[in-house]
Each structure stands twice: as C-alpha cells, then as structure tokens.
Amino acid sequence: MTTMRLSSAFTYEDVDSSAILSLKGNDEGVFVTFRGKNIKEYAYNCENLERFAKNVQIILNDPEKSIGAYINASIKDKTLIIKDTV
C-alpha cells in the first residue's frame, strides 16, 4: 500500500481490501475506487475531512477492521455524500 499525507489530504493506493482499490481525499472531496468486474471511482463530499482521514488511517492500520465496511457505513450515515455528476 502506498500512502501520501499532507495535512488532511491523503492517498492510499493498492488498499488491502476486497472492495476498495484506492482512497484519496483533498479539498475537492473524497474519491473511492471500488474493485469489481468494472473498476469505478466515486466522488464524495466530506464535511470533516481531517476526522475522516484519521479514521481511515486507524482502520487501515488495524488488520481486524474492514475499510470497505467503514466506507459503506460512512455513506449510510452521511459522513460521505455522493457528488452530483453532470
């Protein structure tokens, strides 16, 4: 897994997950690339990027936790809100 962090910005590539390929976060939002038959990236708004970035780091460093489950929970509880596409 490759990691880059600058303040609240983050990039995690080749994530150890069956559901998530990569995660990126910056001033423009959070970008999640899902694995599957068709690899697809989704863009999300995140009100508190710093807190989200800290939680992602904690989860990725704990082999007992699932980043896919955390992303899905974050979508359900509106921590991540899908960006409208034109």
What was the pLDDT predicted at 53? 95
For residue 75, pLDDT over 50 is answered with yes
What was the pLDDT predicted at 85? 64
63 Cβ contact partners less than 8 Å away, ≥ 6 residues apart: none
| Per-domain residue ranges of the chain | 2-82
pLDDT (tens digit per residue) in 49-70: 999 999 999 999 999 999 999 9
Q: Is 52 exposed, middle or buried, given 0-12, 13-18 or 19+ CB atoms closer than 10 A?
A: buried
What was the pLDDT predicted at 1? 56
pLDDT (tens digit per residue) in 2-46: 444 445 799 999 999 999 999 999 999 999 999 989 999 999 999
